[in-house]
Amino acid sequence: MAGDFRPTARHGGLLALAACIGIWLVTSGSREPVGPPLPSPAEALTAAGVLGPGIAPLPGSPPGRIRIPAIRVDAPLVGLGLDRGGHLEVPPPERRDLAGWYRDGTTPGATGTAVIAGHVDDAAGPGVFYHLGALRRGAAIEVPRADGRTAVFTVHAVEVHDARAFPDTRVYGPSPRAELRVITCGGGFSPRTGYRGNVVVFAHLTGTY
C-alpha cells in the first residue's frame, strides 16, 4: 500500500516498524522522479536547542480533524487500532484525504504523546501528508476535538528516519506535557520496495480556542 507505515505495540507503547511502499512520483522536465519534500537537517530535534514553552494539558477528548495551514492540510481523522500482527492500522487506501489517530493512545492535547498518521501518496497522486517534510519549526498544527475545543500545537522539530534505525523511544515515548507526532512515509525510495523510512513531525501544545 502506498504511504504505508507500521508502528507496532510492544510493552504498552508504540515502536515503529516501517514498511512503506510508494507508487506515485512526480516527473521533472528531465524525466527524473521527484518525491515528496524532505526536512532539512536544521529542523531536527537535536538542532532545536531549548524547546519553547507549552501550556497545561487538556482533558482527554477524541479529535475530529487535523489542520496544518502551512502545507494546506485540512483533513478528517479516523481512529486507528492495531491489526492482528500488532501493527498500527492505516487509513483506508481509497481515502487519500484522510488521516488517522491512534485511538488506544493519548488523545491530542492530553498529557502524553499523541500519534496522527497518514499516507504520503498512492498510485493516483499525493496523499494527505505529501508535503509534511516541508514543515518548519514554529508552524502551527490545529486539532479540533469532540469537546468543542481546538488544540493548537507548535512544531519544534521535523525529521526523517530510516526504518532500520527508527528512534522509537524519542518518537513514541511518554511525555509529561501534551505532545503530538505526525507521521508519514519518506526518505529514500526504491521502485521495488518503496519508501525506506518515515518523516516525523514533533510538536507540543501551545494554545487552545
Candidate from 64-73, 96-105, 119-128 with smallest mean pLDDT: 119-128
pLDDT, mean of residues 83-102? 83
Q: Does the structure show a pLDDT above 70 at 16? A: no
pTM of the complete model: 0.86
Candidate from 12-26, 114-128, 142-156, 164-178 with smallest mean pLDDT: 12-26
Tens digits of residue pLDDT in 33-54:
567 888 888 898 776 666 778 8
pLDDT, mean of residues 23-30? 44
Residue 41 lies in a domain: yes
The reported pLDDT for the residue numbered 85 is 76
Q: What is the tally of structural domains in the chain?
A: 1
Residue 183 lies in a domain: yes
The reported pLDDT for the residue numbered 163 is 81
Residue 45 lies in a domain: yes
Residue 2 lies in a domain: no
Beta strands in the chain (DSSP E): 7-10, 13-16, 26-27, 33-34, 65-68, 73-80, 99-102, 112-118, 121-122, 125-126, 140-144, 150-162, 178-190, 194-208
**CATH code of 70's domain:** 2.40.260.10
Q: pLDDT higher for 49 or 31?
A: 49
The reported pLDDT for the residue numbered 25 is 47
The b/e string for 86-123 (b: 16+ C-beta within 10 A; e otherwise) is: ebbbbbeeebbebbbbbbebbbbbbbbbbbbbbbbbbe
Domain that holds residue 172: 7-208
